[in-house]
Amino acid sequence: MKVGLHTRLKPGVEERYEEYHRAVWPDVLAAIRRVGIANYVIFRDGLDLFHYIECDDYDRAISDLAGDPVTIRWEAEIAPMMAVAHDFSGKGSDRVPLIFEL
């Protein structure tokens, strides 16, 4: 399963956000892998963030992450930087449709 997401940073936090992602906590990485996410990439264009995720079942994976204590702590650190955050309910408007694949 391939999932695209669009989130947005608040102005002025770009460098801080990138610093966090240059040193993602090992427990966060382990949790992402544990829920079956095989590939997770984030691109940034100005304040816009584009997430690309590969996994077997995104709805299950994101639900499992939403209840994971380390993920909750990580998201609490990231949340103040976000104008539009990743929606861990799995039903939010952050998903973008796949239009083309080669």
Asked whether the predicted pLDDT for residue 82 surpasses 90, the reply is: yes
Answering whether pTM is above 0.75, one says: yes
The count of residues in the chain is 102
CB contact set of 83 (below 8 Å; sequence gap of 6+): 8, 9, 10, 47
Tally of domains within the chain? 1
pLDDT digits (tens, 9 = 90+) for 28-68: 999 999 999 999 999 999 999 999 999 999 999 999 999 99
Q: What is the pLDDT of residue 94?
A: 82
Is 51 part of any domain? Answer: yes
The domain in which residue 26 lies consists of 2-88
Is 102 part of any domain? Answer: no
Is 48 part of any domain? Answer: yes
Is 33 part of any domain? Answer: yes
Q: Give the CA radius of gyration of the chain.
A: 13
Is 44 part of any domain? Answer: yes
The one-letter amino acid code at 64 reads: D
Q: What is the pLDDT of residue 89?
A: 73
Mean confidence (pLDDT) of the chain = 94
